[in-house]
């Protein structure tokens, strides 16, 4: 019984870790931006960090994305 509990907890932990790693990336540097697309190529979300370091996010974050970096004065 105890062995089954240990195995079940191990599997649950592995599932949790996998789900945490499967998240799409977000903007985490000044001037960085991401645009997220659905399966048909339509824009469904975006995330960005402006030149002052303020983070913005809207819509849905998906595994299909394009990223870039904006020019910030002083770069």
pLDDT tens for 33-53 read: 999 999 999 999 999 999 999
pLDDT at 34: 95
pLDDT at 26: 85
Residue 16 is assigned to a structural domain of this protein: no
pLDDT at 24: 83
Task: Please tell me the total count of domains within the chain.
Answer: 1
For residues 9 and 70, what is the distance between their CA atoms, to the nearest angstrom?
44
For residues 44 and 59, what is the distance between their CA atoms, to the nearest angstrom?
6
Residue 67 is assigned to a structural domain of this protein: yes
For residues 20 and 25, what is the distance between their CA atoms, to the nearest angstrom?
11
Residue 13 or 37, more confident: 37
Residue 8 is assigned to a structural domain of this protein: no
- The model's pTM: 0.67
User: Structural domain of residue 48, as residue ranges?
Assistant: 25-75
Residue 20 is assigned to a structural domain of this protein: no
Task: Kindly list the distances between the CA atom of residue 57 and the CA atoms of 2, 16, 21, 47, 64, in Å, as whole numbers in the listed order.
Answer: 45, 24, 19, 4, 16
Please compute the mean of the pLDDT values over residues 11-15 and round it to a whole number.
72
């Amino acid at each position: 019984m105890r062995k089954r509990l240990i195995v079940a907890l191990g599997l649950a932990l592995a599932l949790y870790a996998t789900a945490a790693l499967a998240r799409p990336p977000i903007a985490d540097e000044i001037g960085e931006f991401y645009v997220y697309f659905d399966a048909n190529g339509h824009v469904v979300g975006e995330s960005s960090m402006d030149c002052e370091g303020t983070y913005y996010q809207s819509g849905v974050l998906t595994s299909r994305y394009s990223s870039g970096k904006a020019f910030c004065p002083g770069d």
